[in-house]
Structure 1
Amino acid sequence: MSRIFKLAAYFLLASSACLAQVKSPATNPANAASGHTFRYTNPITRDTSISMRDHFIIKVGNKWYCTGTSNPVWTGYNPGVRMLESDDLIHWKQDAWLIDASKLPADCPYNGRFWAPEIHLIKKKFWLTVNSGKVTREDPKGMKSHSIWLFVADQVTGPYKLVNGPLTPQYNNDATLFEDEDGQTYLYCSGNGLFQAKIDLQNGKLIGTVQKFLDKRQPGYPEWMVGGIEGPFVVKRDGYYFMFFSTWTRGYEVGLLKSKSPLGPWVLASPEPIFGCRKKGFRPELAIEGGYADLKFQDSEDPYCETGHNALFEGPDGKLWSSCHYLMYEKRPYPYSQVLQPWEKTTQMGIEPVTYKDGVFGIKGPTWTEQVIEY
């Protein structure tokens, strides 16, 4: 059987399986008892005007709010920290700019690219971490001063007030916060590896110094990390601390670490990534530059080249869900067209339910057909 016919058969079987799983609310006993069905198809957003990377979602009351890295991502200025809102996790609109770069003073030290903002509700306050630097003629990307800035607000929608920054004396990025059961808060971030520290939120200062605890080429760790690791996010379950992180070595995948302590030592909870997509033809220049172009792996059969930098949030069923950016692959397999629509050329929001079994978290997908969640 030719490759085209094999792929066609695969997609027909996948579609049939998906349809077979969709049950009518009237005929499904479990659904009749609960009366709730949530349907979604990734990518959730399909709009170039609200395209972002690194989607972070937080539920407050009956609404979901989302921040992320706005375009342009890689060069020069971007417009600031955008907030989206939704009543149903499906339809999203822009609520406001939490930080509007056009309104910042000329000497503002964080006027750069505003990468991967997150909002955490801790001690009845909303804490916003923003990763940015100062864009100048000498440093047009703002990378020399790129670090972490901490803001606080009484409401999720702001206004946010600067607490302190930069929080670290070196390049750091992708900051996240975690409050433990004893009230101590921890800061985790990336920057040519993964870093950690205790933090005094009220003063916006680290307790001690930020410590690097994992390198992309850490001895004894797998080769799927060697391209780079970033985007930490921490939760606690059954006495263990779990850290989700992303790597772009083979496309964009999510790995999982675990520890008995919030400051480690951290070990891989799964020998392979728990989520993501792999495409040999995606960004080959990075593989050549990084010295891992001969890495052997099979492409994943999804239509994406990026599904990563995830964060967790409360989903429609009250359980943990994962959010991250999804990017379509121009060399995606049949029956997808090789001609991308305008929105398909930009990163869009994707969501998936999170599982927990035998002491390890997992994330379903990445999916691209309609999914039905009954609860």
Structure 2
Amino acid sequence: MLASIPNFAQEKNVLSWHNPIREGLPKYGMKDFYIMVEDSTYFLLGTSYKDPYRFNNKALRLYESNNFQEWTVSSILLDLERLDSSSWYKHVISAPEIHRIRNRYYLTFNGRNDSINPYGKLGFGIAVADKLKGPYRVLNTSKPLVETNHAGLVTDPDNQTFLYYDMDGRIYMAPINLETAALVEDPKEILGPINLKENYKYLDAPNITKVGETYHLLVSQFFGGYRVLVNHLTANHPMGPWVWEQSNPIYEWLESEADLKVKNRYPEANGYAPPTQVIFSNTLFEGISGGFFIAYHSSEKYSEPYLCIEPVIVEEHKIEPLNPKAINQMIIIP
């Protein structure tokens, strides 16, 4: 049975924060958050919305914090302004992640060149570095490895690495050779209507986190109108089989909950095209002092998306947020 929510008011060692979190992050919004811990510090990256008042602001930045509430720029991982105009990821860097595998750091991202492939599907890119903050060297500079929307890496018990991603409402996976940045086999559909049956609905934004011997998969389901469910599946191996947990959904988002207020001023000459919200990218990660959290971008319809972090209890076959979708969040620090 899951533990009840602690009485934080009686505790001295408490970390508190307020959702959504904006301090130190891009003013005009950010989504697709990925958070990892190293050297007792939280590191964050995600998809940034551009500042309309700045001409040169095309860069993928890594942020750091030790308290969730305030973030600072730690380093620039990729500078798109320095890329040749023909680079396949010249204009778009989306849903980036960093994975430490065999003492090296692999930066993954989804990219596109809007001059060559306007409005086309994104492609998967991978870069490597010896240190978390870089410098990173992109391994597949000539072309994307595969068409992706939201992608990540995961290793199995034998230390084989797999690329997983969503495309056209289904989840795919393939073993990848990190040294050559090449797929070992063609991608296989691991989640779709065939194996999910009545539980199937358009899938996107997968995130896989291993806790103990269990792999936990979080995935969003997009319904018509403005309704998103976040569901939880488990497996003993990245290739599955994946078990649909009975406690689903972890979250349900409705149009009536969406923030309709645009929080920032925009130049009248350019107007303002609001972000179209079709995913709630959820990342499960372990805290500096233990415990687990889910990071996601805030509910928005016309306003800018921002970071939200919530503590969760993780069991072998269940994930439960302690204080779901609340503004004020707190945890006890051991």
Normalization by structure 2: what TM-score? 0.80
1:313 to 282, 285, 295: 285
Q: Report the equivalent of 1:302.
A: none
Q: Which has the larger radius of gyration?
A: 1
SS state at 1:220 partner? helix
Could you tell me how far apart the structure 1 residues matched to 2:240 and 2:227 are?
27
Matched, 1:353 2:332: no
Q: Report the equivalent of 2:216.
A: 242
1:116 to 69, 85, 95: 95
The 1:261/1:107 distance shift into structure 2, 3 A limit, reads same
Q: Which one-letter code corresponds to 1:205 in the other structure?
A: A
Q: Which one-letter code corresponds to 1:253 in the other structure?
A: L
Count matched residues: 303
2:86 to 107, 116, 141: 107
The 1:62/1:238 distance shift into structure 2, 3 A limit, reads closer
Could you tell me how far apart the structure 1 residues matched to 2:124 and 2:44 are?
19
Contact 2:26 2:48 in 1 (8 A): no
What are the residue-to-residue correspondences of 1:197-236 with 2, within 5 Å? 197-215=174-192, 220-222=197-199, 226=201, 228-236=202-210
Could you tell me how far apart the structure 2 residues matched to 1:172 and 1:212 are?
13
What are the residue-to-residue correspondences of 1:149-228 with 2, within 5 Å? 149-164=125-140, 166=143, 168-169=145-146, 171-192=147-168, 193-215=170-192, 220-222=197-199, 226=201, 228=202
SS state at 2:290 partner? coil
Q: Report the equivalent of 2:9.
A: 23
The 1:38/1:78 distance shift into structure 2, 3 A limit, reads same
The 1:248/1:365 distance shift into structure 2, 3 A limit, reads farther
Contact 1:253 1:307 in 2 (8 A): no
RMSD: 3.0
Q: Report the equivalent of 1:327.
A: 299
The 1:219/1:85 distance shift into structure 2, 3 A limit, reads closer
Matched, 1:69 2:47: yes
Q: Report the equivalent of 2:72.
A: 93
Encode CA deviations 1:280-300: one digit per residue, 9 max, x unaligned: 6879xxxxxxxxxxxxxxxxx
Q: CA deviation at 1:214?
A: 2.1
SS state at 1:105 partner? coil
Contact 1:306 1:325 in 2 (8 A): no
Could you tell me how far apart the structure 2 residues matched to 1:280 and 1:50 are?
22
Contact 2:323 2:329 in 1 (8 A): no
Q: CA deviation at 1:61?
A: 0.4
Q: CA deviation at 1:232?
A: 1.3
Q: CA deviation at 1:317?
A: 2.9
Contact 1:216 1:229 in 2 (8 A): no
The 1:82/1:216 distance shift into structure 2, 3 A limit, reads farther
Q: Which one-letter code corresponds to 2:250 in the other structure?
A: I
The 1:220/1:56 distance shift into structure 2, 3 A limit, reads same
What are the residue-to-residue correspondences of 1:129-144 with 2, within 5 Å? 129-136=108-115, 139-141=117-119, 143-144=120-121
Q: Which one-letter code corresponds to 2:31 in the other structure?
A: R
Q: Percent identity?
A: 25
Normalization by structure 1: what TM-score? 0.72
Question: Which stretches in structure 2 are left out of the alignment for 5+ residues?
Answer: 260-276
Contact 2:45 2:62 in 1 (8 A): yes
Contact 1:168 1:210 in 2 (8 A): no
Could you tell me how far apart the structure 2 residues matched to 1:234 and 1:173 are?
15
Contact 2:156 2:237 in 1 (8 A): no
1:270 to 210, 225, 246: 246
Contact 1:79 1:100 in 2 (8 A): yes
The 1:178/1:247 distance shift into structure 2, 3 A limit, reads same
Q: CA deviation at 1:72?
A: 4.9
Q: Report the equivalent of 2:33.
A: 55
Could you tell me how far apart the structure 2 residues matched to 1:367 and 1:280 are?
14
SS state at 1:309 partner? coil
Contact 2:88 2:144 in 1 (8 A): no
